[in-house]
Amino acid sequence: MIEGELGSFLRSRRDAVRPAQVGLPEGPRRRTPGLRRAELATLAGVSVDYLIRLEQGRDTHPSPQVLGALAEALRLSDEDRDYLQNLAIISNSAGPCPRAWATAARTVRPTVRAMLEQLEPTPAFVVNHLADLLAWTDGYDRLARPLGILDGDEPNLLWFTFADERARTAYPDWDEVADEQVADLHELRRGDTDADALAARLSKVAGTEFIDRWVSRPLGARRTGVRGLTHPDVGALRLAFEALELPDADHQRLVVYLPADAPTAAGLDRLFGRQPGALRSVHSG
């Protein structure tokens, strides 16, 4: 739930700041690797009692000046600052907490499905904010199904990554993929109880691998870049990806994979049964 998230987010960022980052000594008697409340209060110019009320959710109306001072003291990134501001806006809203959606949308518009058809045989798929795979090209099916990603009636990228042991073989950079997928779920949840329910199920199945990431409240997952994949039929692949937000109220994303180098282009040609050279690699940046 979004209730209490402002305080929880502040605590997570306070725990993440090393004292040395703000010019404080790291003594052996510290019980936490992060900042003490008194230290953050001093750096931000607020009282310890007020900071306690904020972190415990007993005060949900911090002024822009206080938010700015806390963000500066915590060395927040741009993504963190924007998220903190949004939490403050929600916390200050009168009446029921605003909700971006009530349930996770699983319907894909006909025009989006038509776009997927035009992308064939490029690996591409549509996901919602819970990482449910809703629609995909035949090219993505040939790429992902042998890995186990599409197993089950309602495949989910997060569930595969944390609950399926095959994921660590599929993703050579598993830790990075796991970090980014948790960041996506956290950043896009916006009070959706389905997201919290999914996080609870993953916590039971994956334990600390998921829990530690979820509690740290990561943000800033990449929307473009290169992802490594190990395929049982064609070996190591480097896939350039673009994750595009679809313009609707369902908060779905279209993700497209392209070969990031010549060996990957050749591997995908073999996988799709095409003549060598049919696919050309793109500059990976």
Quickly name the fold that domain 5-92 has.
434 Repressor (Amino-terminal Domain) (1.10.260)
Q: What pLDDT score does 19 carry?
A: 85
Could you give the 3-state DSSP secondary structure of residue 58?
coil
**Domain boundaries for CATH 1.10.260.40 within the chain:** 5-92
pLDDT digits (tens, 9 = 90+) for 139-179: 999 999 999 999 989 999 999 999 999 999 999 999 999 99
Q: In the prediction, which pLDDT does 170 show?
A: 97
How many helices (H) and strands (E) the chain has is answered by: 13, 5
pLDDT at 187: 78
Class of the CATH domain delimited by 110-272: alpha beta
What pLDDT, on a 0 to 100 scale, did the predictor assign at position 12?
85
**pTM of the predicted model, to two decimals?**
0.71
pLDDT for 104 equals 58
Q: Give the C-alpha separation, 46 to 13, whole Å.
A: 17
What's the CA gap between 243 and 213, in Å, rounded? Answer: 22
Per-block mean pLDDT, blocks of 10 residues, the chain (285 long): 71 86 76 83 89 84 85 86 77 46 71 94 94 96 97 94 96 95 82 83 94 83 91 96 86 93 93 74 62
Q: In angstroms, rounded to a whole number, what is the distance separating the alpha carbons of residues 144 and 31?
A: 45
Please provide residue 143's backbone torsions phi and psi, each rounded to the nearest 5 degrees: -75, -45
- Give the pLDDT confidence score for residue 85 in this predicted structure: 78
Sheet containing 124-127: order of strands? 133-136, 124-127, 253-259, 235-245, 224-231
CA atoms lying within 13 Å on the CB side of residue 184: 23
Q: Where in the chain is the domain with CATH 3.30.450.180?
A: 110-272
